[in-house]
């Protein structure tokens, strides 16, 4: 066995699971976001895959394997080629020797929809659900944390086809259940949450979050368990408005009040009666730049995912399909389109369009796109900017002093402590999570774009209804470590540990102890227990350290107690040690393992 552990923590690894997998010799970094899975890791990944496969098969889904090389033409048909290959797009693309463009599969909607349109003709063939477990490629902007965000990683992706929405919902529910089984069987603490559907598109979607401090996602949930959502998607009720102290419209000199906190203090009002005006620069896929002016309550922040979704809906007004970028423009960016200095920190909802250059080439839209967050719609006698540095207006009202934007949308960021929409007596709590799976109801987006139809019972042609369901197999495996380790190393959940038992011979020059170790190793193998034998010429201390680092659930030591016919058994999770008779140790440990594998 090629077994190499590291004593030092590699500098590149920031989070415990990444450090431990590198130190334990599970993975080796080959390049940015590119890792080799060493034999121990490969066993873990195969165990996760096996659980995923069993649960997918149990739903009636069928396994297949789709090509990783994907012709550009299919992505052009779905309309995703440019979004995925240009600017911040994450698809690796290449040109072959005949000058044909190809992409390396980041996901497979285009491929599967092509197959469906060629093979599914009739409602009699539906529903159908195909899945694969395969390496995906994504040129992530910030690959990091080892297998958590790689540029090459293993995913299980499934795609289902249906005659109607009801059938799609049924499979979606079955997938939800299968995902809960998978997470539970892998020994993970997780939470299903409502999620944003992002660039994949479609209607409902749910993520499966593995709870861990190092998680990149924030989850908001209520203690009663009836609501949980990714902050990207979460809704909430903001705090009640504290009545405005102003009853008439006035312009006040308010020097040095460019922040909400300073302004509230200076004019002595609650941030809940301030209308904050945030300027965004939006670039659409056809190159058009739009300046969006968002009005939101002073105590709230803009959720940029929700804003992106709203701006995407408005894309057609600019003859565009999607957004390439969304940013709060800095001084450098403003130079490209600002006709004069902006009254930053003092902007009012009616900021004049004359602040935008009249651009001959028409790439910059010469009027602001004005959007009001729902939190400002009902505000009375509010405080806001005066479009003049050092000045604000107070006692303002929509209709009298400012025109309320026609576009009124929920783009506020929900946060911990907010009241829940479904039950205002509940408040939202926050937790961090690692997104391990995501299930989507896609609807007819891809089938319509790519012409994947079927004939219904009455002979009419209709587009197929579609769902898609992903699990990050390699991310999940590392997330399990992030959730379960101690100062000495990994504590694998038994179900996905690379081996269940490690037999350690502390001193290999002691023939009796060596023979006992070898015999136990053979007996464990015969009993069907996955076992390792540490018969290296190393100090006993070094062997124990390595064994704790790699996290094998049970260690069996042929040490001092052998003279009484016993061996020491230590449980990795809690380091509980006991001496067991050598004749029955295999049977006893085997039973413990079997008990732990019976979780679902
Ligand atoms: P994220 O928001 O973390 O980038 P995503 O929304 O892009 O994820 P999906 O497209 O839904 O992810 O992919 C399905 C699953 O694949 C994810 O739930 C995650 O477990 C896994 N995954 C996605 N990107 C990566 C990556 N770069 N490295 C490892 N696993 C990944
Ligand atoms: Mg992603």
DSSP annotation of 111: H
- Rounded Cα distance between 373 and 382, Å, is 15
- Rounded Cα distance between 283 and 109, Å, is 26
What pLDDT does 600 receive? Answer: 54
Which residue minimizes the CA distance to atom 2 of ligand 1? 435
Nearest ligand 1 atom to the CA of 436 is 20
The string of DSSP codes covering 23-49 is HTTSEEEEETTEEEE-HHHHHHHHHHH
**What does the H/E/C string look like for 305-367?**
HHHHHHHHHCHHHHCCCCEEEEECCCHHHHCCCECCCCCCCCCCCCCCHHHECCCCCCCECCC
Nearest ligand 1 atom to the CA of 155 is 16
Which residue minimizes the CA distance to atom 21 of ligand 1? 472
Closest to 436 (Cα-Cα) out of 140, 146, 200, 182: 182
28 CA → ligand 1 middle, Å: 21
352 CA → ligand 2 middle, Å: 38
What pLDDT does 599 receive? Answer: 66
With b for 16 or more beta-carbon neighbours within 10 A and e for fewer, the 339-371 pattern comes to eeebbebbbbbbbeeebbeeeeeeebbeebbbb
What pLDDT does 285 receive? Answer: 87
Which residue minimizes the CA distance to atom 13 of ligand 1? 470
Which residue minimizes the CA distance to atom 28 of ligand 1? 149
Closest to 37 (Cα-Cα) out of 47, 48, 26, 46: 26
Closest to 311 (Cα-Cα) out of 369, 353, 366: 369
What pLDDT does 359 receive? Answer: 78
206 CA → ligand 2 middle, Å: 15
155 CA → ligand 2 middle, Å: 12
Which residue minimizes the CA distance to atom 25 of ligand 1? 149
236 CA → ligand 1 middle, Å: 26
With b for 16 or more beta-carbon neighbours within 10 A and e for fewer, the 18-33 pattern comes to bbbbbbbbbbeeeeeb
In angstroms, how far is the first alpha carbon of the chain from the final one? 33
Ligand 1 environment, Cβ below 6 A:
107, 138, 140, 149-150, 153, 155, 198, 435-438, 470, 472, 474-475
pLDDT truncated to tens, each residue of the chain (600 aa)?
999 999 999 988 999 999 999 999 999 999 999 999 999 999 999 999 999 999 999 999 999 999 999 999 999 999 999 889 987 889 999 999 999 999 999 999 999 999 999 999 999 999 999 999 999 999 999 999 999 999 999 999 999 999 999 999 999 999 999 999 999 999 999 999 999 886 555 668 999 999 999 999 999 999 998 999 999 999 999 999 999 999 999 999 999 999 999 999 999 999 999 999 999 999 998 999 999 999 999 999 999 999 999 999 999 999 998 888 899 999 899 998 999 999 999 999 999 999 999 877 789 999 999 999 999 999 999 999 999 999 999 999 999 999 999 999 999 999 999 999 999 999 999 999 999 999 999 999 999 999 999 999 999 999 999 999 999 999 999 999 999 999 999 999 999 999 999 999 999 999 999 999 999 999 999 999 999 999 999 999 999 999 999 999 999 999 999 999 999 999 999 999 999 999 999 999 999 999 999 865
- pTM value? 0.91
């Amino acid at each position: 066995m090629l077994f190499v552990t590291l004593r030092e923590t590699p500098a590149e690894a920031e989070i415990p699971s990444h450090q431990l997998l590198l130190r334990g010799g599970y993975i080796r970094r080959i390049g940015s976001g590119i890792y080799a899975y060493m034999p121990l890791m490969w066993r873990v990944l195969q165990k996760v895959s096996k659980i995923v496969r069993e649960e997918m098969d149990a739903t009636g889904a069928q396994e297949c394997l789709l090509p990783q090389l994907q012709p550009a033409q299919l992505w052009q048909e779905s309309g995703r080629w440019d979004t995925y290959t240009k600017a911040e797009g994450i698809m690796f693309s290449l040109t072959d020797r005949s000058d044909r463009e190809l992409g390396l599969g980041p996901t497979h909607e285009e491929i599967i929809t092509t197959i469906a349109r060629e093979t599914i003709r009739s409602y009699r063939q539906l529903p159908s659900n195909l899945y694969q477990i395969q390496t995906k490629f994504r040129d992530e902007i910030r690959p990091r944390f080892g297998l958590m965000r790689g540029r090459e990683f293993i995913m299980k992706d499934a795609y289902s086809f249906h005659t109607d929405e009801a059938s799609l919902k049924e499979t979606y529910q079955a997938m939800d259940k299968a995902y809960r089984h998978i997470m539970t069987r892998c020994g993970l603490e997780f939470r299903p949450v409502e999620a944003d559907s992002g660039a994949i598109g479609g209607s409902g979607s749910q993520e499966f979050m593995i709870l861990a401090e190092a998680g990149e996602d924030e989850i908001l949930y209520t203690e009663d368990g009836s609501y949980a959502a990714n902050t990207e998607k979460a809704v909430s009720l903001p705090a009640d408005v504290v009545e405005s102290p102003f009853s008439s419209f006035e312009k006040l000199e308010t020097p040095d009040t460019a922040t909400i906190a300073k302004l509230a203090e200076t004019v002595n009002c609650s941030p809940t009666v301030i209308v904050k005006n945030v300027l965004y620069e939006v670039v659409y896929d056809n190159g058009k730049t739009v300046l969006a002016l968002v009005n939101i309550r002073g105590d709230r922040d803009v959720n940029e995912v929700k804003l992106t979704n709203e701006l995407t809906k408005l894309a057609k007004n600019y003859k565009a399909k999607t957004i390439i970028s969304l940013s709060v423009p800095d001084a450098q960016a403003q130079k490209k389109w600002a006709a004069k200095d902006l009254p930053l920190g003092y902007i009012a909802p009616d900021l004049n369009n004359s602040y935008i250059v009249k651009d001959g080439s028409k790439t910059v839209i010469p009027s602001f796109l004005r959007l009001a967050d729902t939190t400002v719609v009902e505000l009375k006698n509010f405080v806001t900017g005066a479009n003049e540095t050092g000045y604000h207006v107070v006692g303002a009202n929509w209709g009298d002093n400012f025109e309320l934007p026609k576009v009124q949308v929920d783009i506020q960021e929900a946060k911990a402590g907010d009241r829940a929409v479904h039950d205002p007596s509940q408040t939202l709590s926050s937790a961090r999570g690692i997104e391990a799976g995501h299930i989507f109801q896609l609807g007819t987006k891809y089938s319509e774009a790519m012409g994947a139809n079927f004939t219904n019972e009455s002979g009419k042609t209709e587009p197929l209804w579609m769902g898609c369901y992903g699990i990050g197999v390699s991310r999940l495996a590392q997330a399990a470590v992030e959730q379960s380790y101690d100062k000495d190393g990994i504590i694998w959940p038994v179900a996905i540990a690379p081996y269940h038992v490690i037999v350690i011979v502390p001193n290999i020059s002691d023939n009796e102890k060596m023979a006992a170790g070898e015999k136990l190793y053979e007996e464990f193998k015969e009993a069907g227990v996955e076992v390792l034998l540490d018969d290296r010429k190393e100090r006993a201390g070094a062997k124990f350290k390595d064994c704790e680092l790699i996290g094998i659930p049970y260690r069996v030591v042929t040490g001092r107690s052998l003279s009484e016919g016993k061996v020491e058994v230590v449980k990795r999770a809690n380091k509980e040690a006991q001496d067991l008779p050598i004749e029955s140790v295999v049977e006893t440990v085997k039973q413990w393992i079997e008990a732990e594998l019976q979780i679902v």
